[in-house]
């Protein structure tokens, strides 16, 4: 078998050890479960590509041990008769899609394609065709790797199956040593400087591989395997801000939709019946939104929910996959802290252990905080119950997350406002045209009173773009129709 032969002939002792351990895990799984009872998760990324070829080698060796004539006609090296599941998303890179389907054709993979969200899609798929074990390309350092071992049962709340992780202890270097040593094909994006590929909205080439000193759309990058420090492979998970989109890019997008898709976004969730009943005011939501805007993040969703586990779980489950980060804090008065934490645990399908979500919790300690902040993957649980505490927690959070690289800091938003005594009807259509012409800005309006002026707001990252949009709007009306507030 060409994979096994390539590894045995190489001089890399570390790679041989990693390979042998991974093959042992695969063969152990194939001894425990029949081929009909296992499945492979394949998404076209580098880790799942390694997993695919390890599984090919492991299956070949497993079958050859049972039948000496297996593979004599070449089928054993090209065919992998293990069910393969591909979760296809509309935000996936076309190169990933193409590579996935080409690979499936070459190795005659039995592909099941899921186009819904991961959990519900998996539930529907396994209900129709149950499996007992799932081969995954999870590695230590991945957000989903916390608490997992090479054989780990699925989390509570998920369909029951065994997660098999043959490359759990592999590093970034190990992955590329394997791919290059075995001379197998991988997605072309990795030759363009991408080191960790997510969606088209949150992935750019890794700046550490740039061949030029300044970054631009014309920048050239070294291939992914030349990244010297594998711990920085996710440094490319950053969003590119498009300051001057072409008219072709504008077509078919609403102004705010296009704006939100071009940068980091956050959700803010407040927990407490007191807010819902109007018993107390909650200034923390607006302050937290302003704090996020100050580091260049757009707030795409703000919610107030009831103080119970199911309400927290439902809202967190919706928002954690729609935004880059979710910030949640619990109301006022005697709010049991474990209600919010338990809701977050339920949203991720994990158990509570010592009043914290098991396997996904990271405690963020700071000398200026009496209690640590809680980070569960992309959800931050704040302890603050008032503005003063929020200010302190935010400063500590920024310091901690900047040092760990969790929170990407970008340029702050620039806001400009105009006032006019023109009616809503008069300015509606011209303002819509400006929105289409400047999709990189969020343009809106409001009245502070029924008889007062209309205030038109322009928010974006580029002050010059806001000024250009204001000038374009003024040209559509008589001189003096708009006055600038700030």
Model confidence at 218, pLDDT cuts 50, 70, 90, reads low
- Rounded Cα–Cα distance for residues 376 and 268 (Å): 15
Query: What pLDDT, on the 0 to 100 scale, is given for residue 273?
Result: 82
Contact between 88 and 121 under an 8 Å Cβ cutoff? The reply is no
- Rounded Cα–Cα distance for residues 46 and 455 (Å): 50
Portion of the chain with pLDDT greater than 90, in percent: 39
Is 321 a residue whose pLDDT tops 90? no
**Mean pLDDT value of segment 452-457:** 90
Is 252 a residue whose pLDDT tops 80? no
DSSP string across 47-115: HHHHHHHHHHHHHHHHHHHH-TTTTTTSHHHH---SEEEEE--TTS-HHHHHHHHHHHHHTT-EEEEE-
Contact between 168 and 139 under an 8 Å Cβ cutoff? The reply is yes
Query: What stretch(es) of the chain map to CATH 3.30.70.1130?
Result: 414-484
**Mean pLDDT value of segment 260-281:** 79
Buried b or exposed e, range 417-433, using 16+ CB within 10 angstroms: bbebebeeeebeeebee
Is 72 a residue whose pLDDT tops 60? no
Query: What pLDDT, on the 0 to 100 scale, is given for residue 265?
Result: 83
**Mean pLDDT value of segment 249-273:** 59
Mean confidence (pLDDT) of the chain? 83
Q: How far is CA 344 from the centre of its chain?
A: 17
Query: What pLDDT, on the 0 to 100 scale, is given for residue 23?
Result: 96
Which of 23-32, 104-113, 168-177, 242-251 has the weakest average pLDDT? 242-251
**Mean pLDDT value of segment 373-390:** 90
- CATH code of 264-404, in short, is 3.40.980.10
Query: What pLDDT, on the 0 to 100 scale, is given for residue 68?
Result: 61
Determine whether domain 414-484 maps to CATH 3.30.70.1130: yes
Is 331 a residue whose pLDDT tops 60? no
Query: What pLDDT, on the 0 to 100 scale, is given for residue 264?
Result: 77
Model confidence at 4, pLDDT cuts 50, 70, 90, reads very high
Tens-digit pLDDT profile for residues 223-238: 999 988 787 788 776 5
Model confidence at 122, pLDDT cuts 50, 70, 90, reads confident
Per the DSSP assignment, residues forming a β-bridge with 83 are 39, 110
**Mean pLDDT value of segment 451-469:** 87
Tens-digit pLDDT profile for residues 5-26: 999 999 999 999 999 999 999 9
Residue 320 or 440, more confident: 320
- Rounded Cα–Cα distance for residues 154 and 39 (Å): 14
**Mean pLDDT value of segment 423-452:** 82
Query: What pLDDT, on the 0 to 100 scale, is given for residue 256?
Result: 46
Model confidence at 216, pLDDT cuts 50, 70, 90, reads very low
**Residue 161 region by backbone torsions, left for phi larger than 0, else alpha for psi between -120 and 50, else beta:** beta
Residue 202 or 249, more confident: 202
Query: What pLDDT, on the 0 to 100 scale, is given for residue 120?
Result: 75
Query: What pLDDT, on the 0 to 100 scale, is given for residue 461?
Result: 78
Place of tokens 């200010």: 391
- Rounded Cα–Cα distance for residues 280 and 282 (Å): 7
**Mean pLDDT value of segment 23-38:** 94
Model confidence at 334, pLDDT cuts 50, 70, 90, reads very low
**Mean pLDDT value of segment 379-389:** 91
Phi, psi of 473 (to 5 degrees): -70, -45
Is 407 a residue whose pLDDT tops 80? no
Closest alpha carbon to 477 in 429, 417, 437, 416: 429
Query: What stretch(es) of the chain map to CATH 3.40.980.10?
Result: 264-404
Tens-digit pLDDT profile for residues 428-442: 888 888 887 887 788
Portion of the chain with pLDDT greater than 70, in percent: 86
Is 178 a residue whose pLDDT tops 50? yes
- Rounded Cα–Cα distance for residues 191 and 211 (Å): 13
| DSSP code of residue 362 | E
Place of tokens 């998996």: 122
Model confidence at 163, pLDDT cuts 50, 70, 90, reads very high
- Rounded Cα–Cα distance for residues 63 and 57 (Å): 10
Q: How far is CA 479 from the centre of its chain?
A: 47
Query: What pLDDT, on the 0 to 100 scale, is given for residue 296?
Result: 84
DSSP string across 29-52: HHHHS-GGGEEEE--SSHHHHHHH
Closest alpha carbon to 415 in 393, 447, 441, 383: 441
Is 348 a residue whose pLDDT tops 80? yes
Model confidence at 446, pLDDT cuts 50, 70, 90, reads confident
Query: What pLDDT, on the 0 to 100 scale, is given for residue 143?
Result: 67
Is 69 a residue whose pLDDT tops 70? no
Is 65 a residue whose pLDDT tops 80? no
Q: Which CATH class is domain 2-173?
A: alpha beta
Which residues, in sequence order, are CB contacts of 333 under 8 Å at separation 6+?
Answer: 272, 274
**Mean pLDDT value of segment 422-429:** 85
3-state SS class at 464: helix
| CA distance between the termini of the chain | 70
Query: What stretch(es) of the chain map to CATH 3.40.50.620?
Result: 2-173
- Rounded Cα–Cα distance for residues 374 and 478 (Å): 54
Closest alpha carbon to 416 in 460, 454, 448: 460
Query: What pLDDT, on the 0 to 100 scale, is given for residue 192?
Result: 94
């Amino acid at each position: 078998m060409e994979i096994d032969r390539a590894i045995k002939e190489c001089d890399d002792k570390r790679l041989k050890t990693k390979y042998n351990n991974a093959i042992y895990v695969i063969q152990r799984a194939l001894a425990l479960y029949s081929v009909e009872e296992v499945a492979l998760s394949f998404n076209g990324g580098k880790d799942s590509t390694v997993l695919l070829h390890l599984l090919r080698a492991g299956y070949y060796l497993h079958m050859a041990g049972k039948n000496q004539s297996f593979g004599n006609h070449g089928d054993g090296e090209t065919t992998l008769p293990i069910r393969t599941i591909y979760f296809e998303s509309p935000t996936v890179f076309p190169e990933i899609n193409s590579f996935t389907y080409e690979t499936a054709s070459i190795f005659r993979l039995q592909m099941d394609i899921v186009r819904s969200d991961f959990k519900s899609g998996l539930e529907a798929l396994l209900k129709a065709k149950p499996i007992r074990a799932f081969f995954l390309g999870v590695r230590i350092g991945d957000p989903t790797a916390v608490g997992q071992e090479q054989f780990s049962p699925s989390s509570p709340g998920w369909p029951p199956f065994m997660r098999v992780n043959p490359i759990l202890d592999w590093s970034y270097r190990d992955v590329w040593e394997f791919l290059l040593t075995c001379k197998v094909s991988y997605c072309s994006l990795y030759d363009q400087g991408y080191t960790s590929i997510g969606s088209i909205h949150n992935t750019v080439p890794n700046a550490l591989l740039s061949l030029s000193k300044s970054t631009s759309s014309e920048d050239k990058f070294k291939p992914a395997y030349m990244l010297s420090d594998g711990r920085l492979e996710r440094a490319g998970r950053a969003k590119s801000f498009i300051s001057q989109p072409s008219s072709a890019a504008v077509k078919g997008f609403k102004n705010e939709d296009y704006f939100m898709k071009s940068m980091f976004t956050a959700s803010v969730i407040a927990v407490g019946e007191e807010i819902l009943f109007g018993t107390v005011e909650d200034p923390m939501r607006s302050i937290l939104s302003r704090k996020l805007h100050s580091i260049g993040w757009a707030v795409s969703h703000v919610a107030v929910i009831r103080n119970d586990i199911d309400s927290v779980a439902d809202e967190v489950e919706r928002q954690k996959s729609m935004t880059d980060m979710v910030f949640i804090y619990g109301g006022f008065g005697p709010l049991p802290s474990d209600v919010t934490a338990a809701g977050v645990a339920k949203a991720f399908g994990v158990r509570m252990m010592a009043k914290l979500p098991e396997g996904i919790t990271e405690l963020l300690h700071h000398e200026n905080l009496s209690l640590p902040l809680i980070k569960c993957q992309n959800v931050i649980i704040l302890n603050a119950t008032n503005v003063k505490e929020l200010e302190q927690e935010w400063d500590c959070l920024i310091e901690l997350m900047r040092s760990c690289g969790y929170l990407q800091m970008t340029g702050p938003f620039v806001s400009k406002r105009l006032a006019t005594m023109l009616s809503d009807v008069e300015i509606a259509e011209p303002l819509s045209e400006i929105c289409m012409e400047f999709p990189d800005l969020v343009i809106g309006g409001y009245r502070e009173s029924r008889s007062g002026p209309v205030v038109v707001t322009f928010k974006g990252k580029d002050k010059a773009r806001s000024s250009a949009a204001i000038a374009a709007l003024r040209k559509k009306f008589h001189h003096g129709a708009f006055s600038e507030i700030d």
